[in-house]
Structure 1
Amino acid sequence: MGSKCKSSRAYDLMMRFIFISLFAICVCIEKQTVLASDATSSGKSEKFVGHKHARRKLDDIGGDISIDCGIPSGFMYLDEKTQLSYKSDEEFIRTGVNKNISSKFMSANLQNTYATVRSFPEGNRNCYSLRPPEGKAKTYLTRASFMYGDYDDEDKLPEFDLYIGVNRWDSIKFDNASHVVIKEIIHSALMDEINVCLLNTGKGTPFISALELRHFHNATYRTQSGALVLYRRLDVGSTTNQIIRFKDDHYDRIWVPYPGFPGSASINTSFIIDSLVDSQYRLPSAVMKTAVKPMNVNDSLEFDFEIGDPTLQFYVYMHFAELESLQGNQHREFTITLNGNLWEKSVVPEYLQSKTISSTQPARGSKLNFSLCKTSNSTLPPILNAIEIYILTDTLQEPTDQDDVNAIMDIKLSYDVGKGWQGDPCSTLNYSWDGLNCSYNGYKPPKIISLNLTSEGLTGKISPSLSNLKSLENLDLSNNSLTGSIPEFLSQLPLLRVLNLDGNKLSGSVPTSLMARSQNGSLLLSIGRNPDLCLSAPCQKEKRNIVMPVVAASVSLLVILIALLIFWTYKRKQAARLNVDNSHSKKEGSLKSDNQQFTHSEIVDITNNFHRILGKGGFGTVYHGYLADGSEVAVKMLSASSSQGPKQFRTEAQLLMRVHHRNLASLVGYCNDGENVGIVYEYMAYGNLKQYLFDETKEALSWKDRLQIAVDAAQGLEYLHHGCKPPIIHRDVKTANILLNEKMQAKLADFGFSKIFPAESESHISTSIVGTVGYLDPEYYSSNRLTEKSDVYSFGIVLLELITGLPAIIRGYNNTHIVNRVCPFLERGDVRSIVDPRLEANFDTNSVWKAAETAMECVPSISFQRPTMSHVVTELKKCLEMETAREQIQRTKSQMLSLSSSVDISAVDVETEMGPEAR
């Protein structure tokens, strides 16, 4: 009987397997027929094949990813022209819809990747996640391609932004519906996963046609910082007018044919050009076999590129190979100048071998002007085979800490969390993941400090990956269906302050270490509405006599009620007196700290009976004083006529007690003696920045001093925004509130209007409008929505004041705002006309330009377009480095001139020879 049963089951299983196999074959045949029909109707001549088709990879290049966005899920094809294998984008993104371009834009010559698109009508940010096998710390070329083709039948050209990771890559704009836009970037991957994100800027629905990634095995394209966005890659002297890419180009770079420049002639060879002997660039022989030279042997090869944007920085790569077999008396040697500066003093191309001349420092200017000139030893004119020009783009924003990324991705997969979790979890572009809050501490990678997954339908056990979020302070898993016991690792998260497990199906006992933290006040623990959870140990159901506990509880309750009644009666009798006392004690209690408290009589002694006045403001009068140890202090006393004084006093005093930074004014103590209210803080000998900028009796600040002051003040703001938890918004950043000590160190002061963000705050808070005219964020003024970017705007105005020596509101017939004053000059590339004339042109022009650009980045009327203070600090430090280098060069020149009596040394004009041209 047993053998018959086994035989029957085996026969049944075999028949099921045969049936399933036949069904799968039928489905596959049906899909192939439908897809072949779709491909024909859409203009795609290639047949789609299944995933098991052998992929044709780029020769010797790992990490290649070729995605045709918008093709049906689960299919791939081999492109006849490039011999590259393209696949659908289903495994790289979970959002968006597939669309075909309009039939009127289909043609036999249209590249396959442009026939379909993936469109993103929902969500402000949609991200592709690419995970090359080589992982992080490697160099990659990422290419995104777009053709609108009226895929949505709207006939409206969209505009949107493209991001690589958390940093902006470029903006996507179209001239017409058939315009093909290709964006390339060469970058080093900071994380194992590379995110390419499309951001909706409110000007149309983002879409993408194709996405490709290529891995570079070497470090050929290197910069000191940032990434390289392609501006031009030209096959100079091309005779075929054909684009060259893989398989001719090992790295699949796209070379655009460029016949030549005015006054030049093309030359070529039929021999193969060796690009491996002296070049790591592995240049395609098809590109290097052609070149241009001047028609006249004695002429230079000159050409330029009109950039338009004077703020951009460029890296240039010129590629050479000698194509003519030179005779014994022939020699080709030439120099290269860029924007009038000698770039390479001797270039001698080698016969049939590639040679590359590349930038070591970025070029800058409104125009890139190249001149290749034969040397006195040369009998032949210069040549050029190919050129690449890249725009340097900053990648200052750090991605989320890798351990946190790995942990949150595991949590996402474990619970299948939707919530639009795409791209970098802690992106500071106002697109961080829903339910996440992160810490942004200067230049360190952001870390996840709060995770809210309440009411997300979570099932199963509490994920062990939570233990890897070491910076987690707040965890909310309430109102789900989590089962199992509460894991011990939750008590070992060192910074965890709030844990909410309320409303689940957890069972077992609560870890004793977790209960201990809850009882000592270091953890706010919520574990209610878990019926099977035992709150005491040992967790056993026992039969007990319930009579005595009930009686004892009833008696205890009665005693408590009687005691409360007596206490309440006593309180009512003492209400009037206690109300007065409580009002005073609340004010004083809120100020208790380690700082010194002074009586009014002590303040009188400190200030020598308020003898010396340092200044006056809306709060009251500021006096100079000495403590008993002889140290100088400033004492700010509340004026009786100040309506907002008491509130401002408490705000400022409380904030000064909790913030400690070298660029914030330090609190020494306070006075809260009856009607006499005041703050005692460190004395700043040189007063405030406003006095130094606009008091003509004071010595003018040098450009280096101004930059150092700007860096100091920016670092103080950065600490308030990103170093304090919760963050603090100053709300009254201006030159009068930046104080200077005897070492000219700047410190931010006057926190009377400051606002603390709530712990669970989103991107803004709504509050009444306060601040100073001229410095006030226009978006905050119109909407009452306060964000950290409100301070950024005010700081941008301060920076413009430092550059120009002009106040925020320039008094006169029209009372011109400083932004409106400087904009016309900057737009026409004239930065010198806005610089404070008291500087007497004693500054580095590049440094001033960068400072002006940073200031203008801070003052757009829309807050999300402004940078963070961390970015501002970084840019200003670069400005300071430039100015410091200029001063060192000048000192060196002076020393050389003073030491040299017999040798005539021509001093180099740094601004003329090294600075940018007029923009």
Structure 2
Amino acid sequence: MNFGDYLLVVLLLGVALVQGQNESQGFISVNCGGAGYYESTTGVTYSPDDIYIYTGVARNISHDDQKPSLPQHLSTLRSFPDGNNNCYQFILTKGERYLIRAEFLYGNYDGLDNFPVFDVSIGVLETMFRYDYGATPSDANVQDRLGRHWVPYDFDSSLTPIHTKDVVNTSLIVEDPPEASMETALIPTRTDDVMSLSFEMKKPTRYDDDDKRFVQVYMYFAELYDLKDGETREFKILKNEVIWQEPFSPTYLEARVEYGKSTLPVLPGETLEFVLEKTQRSTLPPLINALEFYLLHEFSGKHTAAEDVTAVRNIKTYYRLNKPNWQGDPCSPPIYMWDGLKCDNDLYSIPTITSLNLSSNKLEGLLTPNIFNIRKLAVLDLSNNNLTGTIPGFLSQMHELKIINLRGNKFHGTIPQGLLAKSNEGLLQLSVEDNPSLCVTGHCNHDDSNNHLLAIIFASLASIVVLVSAIAGIVVFLKKRKNGQAIRNAASNIELNPNPPYNSNLPMKLELSYAEVERSTNKFARIIGRGGCGIVYHGVLESQQVAVKLLDKSSRDAYNQFIAEVGILLRVHHRNLVKLIGYCREADCMALIYEFMVNGDLKNHLSGKSGHFLSWETRLKIAIQVAHGLEYLHHGCNPPIIHRDVKIRNILLDENFEAKLGDFGLSKSLPTDEATHVSTVLAGTHGYMDPAYLTSSRLTDKSDVYSFGIVLLELITNQNANDESRERPLIADWANSMVVKGATSNIIDPKLDGQFDTKSLHDAIDLAIACINEVSGNRPGIDRVALRLNDCLALEMARIQQDYWTQSSIMPR
């Protein structure tokens, strides 16, 4: 059984019902493999199951098995031809009690006429039987509003049924037995007799003789007679001749449940005997109205360490892995361990992941820092993928790591000295072959300098070509346009950018005409944003929603922004950077067409205007995603790129609230891969700009880290980066002053209402303060920032898992 932040139910087909006593309706019903619908005969609304599971195939039972009397929800099913571990996921609340019921009907759906054999793990309790005492065997089964079936008990002449026409109140107990079952009961035929109930635990073939099981018994009682003066019904319950329930008297027309103080241990083949015995002062025999008997399924092993679970789930999300059996608990039970993982599953400690093999999985992008959070990882195999960027230094800090296989990728740069040292000392088996751009010796300065020289030569030639192209373009433009103002505007634009940083001979396949841009925006009908250089419109291009930024040609910065942004977005490709769809550069139009981000910018959500509350978990994930985007720009691009305008307005959210960094109009590339800064004219947004950059005009990757620190503070505090109403308008000054005063808790967004892990949030505050250190050299690199944020997320996920954690305290209703 896999339990963590979700209850994981492994099903082949049928309908699953989950019951939570705190819900007004009390339950949800799921139609497996079918559509949602309302069942008028029972008043039950069924939901489709595809919101609880993403594997399997929806099927219908055979035509021959489609009977008129068959409920609609049994006519469809979900089968699982792939993978050995398929899980339905339901969010539970710790401390609540749940009923979980599943129905299975093969229905020859596959035409093979061969009943499948499979295991089902439903967590804690399996219903063995549910009896309606007092109902005659000829009576129909009672199905209550929760879908539970109560079967008439087959009794002999030693027992006598009794009943009432009055309604028994069942609302005072959360187990909620059906009124119809509570309106009947059995009593001993002889008033001086005891009532004996025996249950034999048959031995399942898959259990050994000494495999002890645990059962839970629920007995329901209600007095059905209005007792006269002098009449008393009082009895006790013994289990195998030991007191199980002290003497009590059922209340007239009011349901009562008894289930003992704990589950009952029993061996297969053993018989449990309950005896209901009246007390000496009782004038009436004992009675029983109904009973439920459950078999407790122990969890199949311990839960994997929470930080490992969070890390490997983040890896799955980061690389968009499509692995059918990556569901439930990664390590437990061992028979359902995730593909590509090996775990330490000893009897005395929490399972941990020791080996991760994602070889030949078509992975793209950087080597994710989530791997660092798998603390006991000894073997890492990421060979034969398309991973890019530099090999991160954090690998050398993973002390348990003994084997690293990165061969067959596209890493560049040098191997971290820490890894080389461990490899040379025989402490690490390192494989990095078949990475053409990777310096494997650690001494590649000579080759690098040659490469730099070639790069300078090619850059010079490219500049000449660009300059000639620009002059030719002006000549053609002058011939075609006689409007003097247009000529002056064009000349002004060229003047601003005599040496464009990127080749303005842009690829034709992305170029759109003004007519196409106008048509895609329905003649610029819907404005979705405004910026310093133009207006952003909503559009539809080839059935795809797009955002169209129409640059204001009267702006002196429009041309620079156009060339810079197109040049950068054509060479960067990362899931956390906004994607360029196309562009237009006709005389009367300079436009950039991006992928449309359904949920707009982060500012809109933090301000509350969107009506969507961002939890601490969501805020952390957004911060991590932005950090990954910056990490790619700083370490995955050659030469590195400085964004220069990181702010919450430029962080956009897609339909899944995944963050993407946009607006590259101010971005700059460092001159070479080894360069640490570039001197440039000051540009950026007040409140986000690096003070070291303001005083020196030297732009470094730590300038982006400073801006990111401001964004992180905004996520923590829900305060604006610059607010003149504060005593200290700049959020950096305000937050620093509060931390110095020891009032760190006072800067936390009150909307979070305590719903966060305290260490997680305070660690994030410490990280934000480190990012906005006035000395740029004292700030962490963005790769380190991403790692620490992942640690914060692991703490928060552990808190959430603990809140949802469901162990044997979960009992049926």
The interval holding the TM-score normalised by the smaller chain is 0.3 to 0.5
Structure scoring higher RCO (CA < 8 A, sep ≥ 6) equals: 2
TM-score between both structures, scaled by the size of structure 2? 0.47
